[in-house]
């Protein structure tokens, strides 16, 4: 993966075209959410692409928390300040905040380490639907609106014991869906392992809205549609 293929930079500002963001979602993350389609009415740049650019610009710290504050549309120019601060806000020219980064501990700018962890996390994160979310919805007997599915990436945190490891594998740990009326809070814990040893852990949180009673046939139709879209791209 050459991350520079998926964004455009001018001075300290970075923007994403629909093509760049959609290609990243499908080709790198394996994420076929319709909201990342080039012709989507409610188009959104993948949160995992923002995460990847942050790691490229600021390196990997032992403790990092990403909080997403707004959906990024195509063409929005985001400012990535040249900073070594522990707290960094990613904003646009109007000072509207889209992402907050909190970090502490040792930091590494090793390109191989950053690249490998980025790829491992993004590929793990991109499998949220249907592999993780569908079983959680079935367990709670709810489902998202099949006509207007909305899953919002809320935050991601990662805590590493050290930074001197090779290719890390992410393993799902303690997935949870808490339902409150038509709203659901998803928490996906994960462990990071390298050479058979656990080197850290983390958590991804999302918000899903428009929940309704579970309908197995309609859920299966969503899964079938998702797989059809995936097959059309991957061939």
Sequence-distant (6+) residues with CB within 8 A of 61 are 103, 104, 105, 106, 107, 108
State the pLDDT at residue 137: 95
Taking the complete model, does pTM exceed 0.85, yes or no? Answer: yes
Q: Which CATH number fits domain 3-234: 1.10.3470, 2.60.40, 2.60.120, 2.40.160?
A: 2.40.160
Sequence-distant (6+) residues with CB within 8 A of 176 are 136, 186, 187, 188
Backbone angles phi, psi at 216, to 5 degrees: -55, -40
Average pLDDT, the chain: 93
State the pLDDT at residue 79: 96
Distance between CA atoms of 106 and 30, rounded to whole angstroms?
A: 31
Does residue 76 register a pLDDT over 80?
yes
Fill in the DSSP letter of residue 94. T
**Model confidence pLDDT, tens digit, residues 129-174:** 888 999 999 999 999 998 887 788 999 999 999 999 988 999 999 8
Alpha helices of the chain — where are they, by DSSP H? 18-23, 47-58, 111-125, 133-140, 216-234
Q: Starting from the edge strand earliest in sequence, which strands make up the sheet with 60-68, in order?
A: 8-10, 13-15, 78-79, 87-91, 97-108, 60-68, 151-160, 197-208, 183-194, 169-180
Distance between CA atoms of 162 and 213, rounded to whole angstroms?
A: 44
State the pLDDT at residue 167: 87
**Model confidence pLDDT, tens digit, residues 162-182:** 999 988 999 999 899 999 999
Domain ranges of the chain: 3-234
Distance between CA atoms of 44 and 217, rounded to whole angstroms?
A: 28
Does residue 11 register a pLDDT over 90?
no
Residue 195, CB half-sphere, CA atoms under 13 Å: how many? 3
Average pLDDT of the segment spanning 27-32: 88
State the pLDDT at residue 152: 86
Question: How big is the CA angle at 144 (ends 140 and 148), to the nearest 5 degrees?
Answer: 175
Backbone angles phi, psi at 44, to 5 degrees: -145, 135
Does residue 30 register a pLDDT over 90?
no
Does residue 4 register a pLDDT over 70?
yes
Does residue 191 register a pLDDT over 70?
yes
Average pLDDT of the segment spanning 99-118: 96
Does residue 235 register a pLDDT over 70?
no
State the pLDDT at residue 146: 86
**Model confidence pLDDT, tens digit, residues 34-61:** 889 999 888 999 999 999 999 999 999 9
- CB–CB of 179/203 below 8 Å? no
Question: How big is the CA angle at 181 (ends 177 and 183), to the nearest 5 degrees?
Answer: 55
Sequence-distant (6+) residues with CB within 8 A of 165 are 113, 194, 195, 197, 199
């Amino acid at each position: 993966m050459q991350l520079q293929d998926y964004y455009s930079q001018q001075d300290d500002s970075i923007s994403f075209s629909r093509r760049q963001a959609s290609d990243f979602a499908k080709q790198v993350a394996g994420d076929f959410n319709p909201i990342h389609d080039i012709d989507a009415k409610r188009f959104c740049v993948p949160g995992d692409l923002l995460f990847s650019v942050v790691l490229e610009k600021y390196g990997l710290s032992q403790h990092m928390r990403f909080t997403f504050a707004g959906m990024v549309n195509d063409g929005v120019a985001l400012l990535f300040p040249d900073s070594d601060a522990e707290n960094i806000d990613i904003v646009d020219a109007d000072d509207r905040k889209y992402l907050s980064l909190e970090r502490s501990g040792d930091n590494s700018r090793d390109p191989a380490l950053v690249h490998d962890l980025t790829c491992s996390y993004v590929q793990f994160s991109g499998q949220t639907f249907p592999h993780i979310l569908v079983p959680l919805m079935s367990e709670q007997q709810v489902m998202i609106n099949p006509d207007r599915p909305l899953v919002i990436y809320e935050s991601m945190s990662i805590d590493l014991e050290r930074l001197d490891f090779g290719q890390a594998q992410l393993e799902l740990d303690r997935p949870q869906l808490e339902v409150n009326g038509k709203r659901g809070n998803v928490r996906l814990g994960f462990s990071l392992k390298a050479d058979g040893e656990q080197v850290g852990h983390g958590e991804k949180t999302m918000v899903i809205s428009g929940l309704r009673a579970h309908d197995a046939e309609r859920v299966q139709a969503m899964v079938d549609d998702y797989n059809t879209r995936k097959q059309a791209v991957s061939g």
